Amino acid sequence: MLRRLFAATLAALAALAALPPPTQARAAAAAQVASDTVIVLPFENTSGQREFNWVGESFADSLAELLGGHGLRSVSNDARELAYQQVYCPNRACDPRVLTIVPSRATAIKIAREAGASLVVLGTYEVSPAQDDKAVAQVRGSARVIRVNEGRLSGKVMADGRWATHEFFFGDALVNLQTVQGKLAYQILYEQDDKLPFSQNAIVEQATKVPVKAFESYVKGTLADDPEKKSAYLQNAMRDFERANPGSVFKQAAFELGHLYFAQKDYKRAAENFSMLQKRDPHYAEAAFYAALSYWQAGETQTALDALLPLTADTPLTSIYNNAGAIAAQVARTEKDTAKRDNLLKQATNVLSRAAESAPEDMMVHYNYAYALMISGKFAEAVEQLRTVVKLNPRDPEGLFLFAKALEKTGQTEAAKTNDDEARRYYQNYAKAQVEWQERQTISLVPVRLRGDFNRADLIAAVNDEEDKKNALIAGANPQDLLAKAREMYVAGRDDEALMELRDVVRIEPMNAEAYLMTGRIYQRRGALDVAVNQLKTSIFWDIDRKLIDAHILLGRIFLERGDRTQAMAYAQTAMQIDPNNQEAIALQRQVQVGIK
């Protein structure tokens, strides 16, 4: 797992060499950090200044992202909202105001358990508004971490056996709120693991990547109930972000604007905003889902299909399969080119058959699957799907109509007549659809059925299932095999993939020195020297047998490049002690001695 920063002095290096071998207890503690999942609840505003309520929500949003990107598994904000709903109103439609309720400690623990978290972060704050033109508003407060399973504040066992809890205090100008949140994230991470391989500055840099004004407008926009205010805040956030980052898009604000326009049935602008998100963005699947719906509502069915089909491979949700299959069938219905039509129908039946298998009680899926089968001329198979539809809803108007026609095509005359009579009773557009069927044996006037709501709960469950499967695979994986894969990826220049493999290695073996060495190499190549130094020092710490001479050589080169010849010489000498004949160690020592960089 993540390891400690050592002091940058020769005395500390000497002390490091004298440290005893790491214990199994420390390795177990590191593994515990790797397995923890944290949920951050909105901080409580204790100042009575309601106009600053947005600050509390911003803590939840920012800390969840920062903690989740630096060693802890973090509950997403969507999953947090779902947990709130399950705790406060599990059996009815949830009032959005429950999301702003400040829970007691007991309720916070209940919410955390609902979300599958082992840690929950709670906090309070107050804002002191500026008193004159020269003053600036100030924010100050505190945060604490609760261990869910133990039901107590996080802390450490002292030498005398007492449990010492830790409260994190913060304070600064309100304009520096993101910096405050970055520092707080670092402090929380440091308490969980005081051997972090990155600096506080690195987290603060990530926390402040969104311009101050854009950040404030975005958070206020997400909380605004009035559509006009919401639109104004979010558009301001987009403009301020683009002004500071020419040519870039504030993806989170675009996503929220997309939802606002979709609710207003402004499908053109909804599609434009949803389409700004890319595959690597957190809400990409949901954005693509609603972009497809927006295009479909605007009559651009092929564009809708193009937006949705990629999700069928990456996000296997029933709602996505259903809509992709239904739209593919609709496009195929009007396609003149035989080859293209056959390909579209194949796509439709493939995804809908998978959906029908995974959701046997989903009437909409069976309906669309039957629809695609009928267009394909597979009436006998369509009958079986429609039999399920009318069983689930004996008064389904379009279902009864299609069932009657499919039965008719398979020679089941009596059953066809019975269901056709039922269709006459319930299907308002029966007459027009019947004329089309009699004249052309087609069903273009009968609509396909699209799911209009992206079920975030299904996505969260799917993501958690994938994470659990990955953890199970990791637990049974051979660290040496993972290291070998990481080496191949490193040589090929696929650093991001290599880092993922290396992270899995240290989740299995928190004391694996070679994994930290390779991670240090990657960050050195990227120019992130602070991170590289910390990883290389961690590698040396766990290198009990002093075999990894490369870590010492790399550290010597980094310090030589920085002009710190004392540190560089210390590492060069250690490398020479490990292997006096190593040519790179010899070269490093000569460079330090003659002052050549």
Model confidence pLDDT, tens digit, residues 327-370: 999 999 989 999 999 999 999 999 999 999 988 999 999 999 99
Least confident of 13-27, 133-147, 201-215, 556-570: 13-27
CA angle 50, 140, 48 (to 5 degrees): 20
Look at residue 297 in the predicted model and tell me its pLDDT.
95
Predicted confidence (pLDDT) per residue in 441-456, tens digit:
999 999 999 999 998 8
170 Cβ contact list (under 8 Å, min separation 6): 125, 139, 140, 141, 142, 143, 180, 183, 184
Mean pLDDT of the residues in the chain: 86
Q: Each residue of 19-48: pLDDT tens digit?
A: 333 334 434 444 444 468 899 999 999 988
Which residues touch 347 (CB under 8 Å, ≥6 apart)? Answer: 309, 324, 325, 328
pLDDT of residue 100: 59
What mean pLDDT is predicted for residues 2-25? Answer: 34
Residue 544: per-residue pLDDT: 76
Please report which helix (H) or strand (E) contains residue 155, including its range.
Answer: strand 155-157
Mean pLDDT of 412-420: 96
What distances in angstroms separate CA 279 from CA 275, 307, 310, 529, one per listed residue?
A: 10, 11, 10, 29
Is 483's pLDDT higher than 60?
A: yes
Whether the CB-CB separation of 366 and 386 falls below 8 Å is answered with: yes
264-305 pLDDT, tens digit per residue, is 999 999 999 999 999 888 899 999 999 999 999 999 999 999
Supply the pLDDT for residue 10.
32
pLDDT of residue 188: 92
pLDDT of 9 > 50? The answer is: no
54-79 pLDDT, tens digit each: 999 999 999 999 998 776 788 988 88
Mean pLDDT over 150-173 rounds to: 81
Strand partners, 145: 121
Residue 17 has pLDDT above 50, yes or no: no
- Report the C-alpha gap between 567 and 550 in whole angstroms: 16
Question: Which DSSP string do the residues of 253-310 spell out, in sequence order?
Answer: HHHHHHHHHHHTT-HHHHHHHHTT--TTSTTHHHHHHHHHHHHHHTT-HHHHHHHHTT
CA distances from 317 to 313, 314, 356, 387, 485 (A): 10, 9, 11, 24, 30
Percent of the chain with pLDDT over 90: 55
Question: What confidence score (pLDDT) does residue 96 get?
Answer: 56
- For residue 484 the two structure tokens come to 């070998």
In terms of Cβ atoms closer than 10 Å to its own Cβ (0-12, 13-18, 19+), residue 585 is buried
On whether the CB atoms of residues 6 and 541 are closer than 8 A, the answer is yes
Dmax (CA) of the chain: 100
For residue range 94-131, list pLDDT tens digits in order.
555 555 567 888 888 999 999 989 999 999 999 998 87
Which range (185-194, 240-249, 401-410, 457-466) has the least confidence?
A: 457-466
Tokens of 320: 């996505």
Of residues 541 and 243, the one with the higher pLDDT is 243
Residues 6+ apart with CB under 8 A from 530: 198, 199, 201, 202
Looking at residue 462, its pLDDT comes to 73
Q: What is the dihedral of CA 478, 481, 482, 488, to 10 degrees?
A: 180
Q: Are 483 and 515 in contact (CB under 8 A)?
A: yes
Contact 40, 63 (CB under 8 A): yes
Both structure tokens of 373: 């089968």
In this prediction, residues 132-140 reach a mean pLDDT of 82
Q: What domains does the chain contain, in order, with CATH numbers? A: 36-208 (3.40.50.10610), 318-454 (1.25.40.10), 465-594 (1.25.40.10)
Q: What integer is the mean pLDDT of 225-254?
A: 96
Higher per-residue pLDDT: 597 or 52: 52
Predicted local confidence at residue 24, as pLDDT: 41
100-110, pLDDT tens digit by residue? 567 888 888 99
Which token pair is 366?
Answer: 């069976």
Cα–Cα distance for residue pair 320/454, rounded to 1 Å:
8
Instruction: List Cα–Cα distances, 409 to 342, 403, 417, in angstroms.
Output: 20, 10, 12
pLDDT of residue 48: 83
pLDDT of 143 reads 95
Q: Is pLDDT larger for residue 223 or for residue 12? A: 223
pLDDT value, residue 595? 57
- The encoded tokens of residue 171 equal 């304070």
Do 505 and 515 form a contact (C-beta atoms < 8 A)? Answer: yes
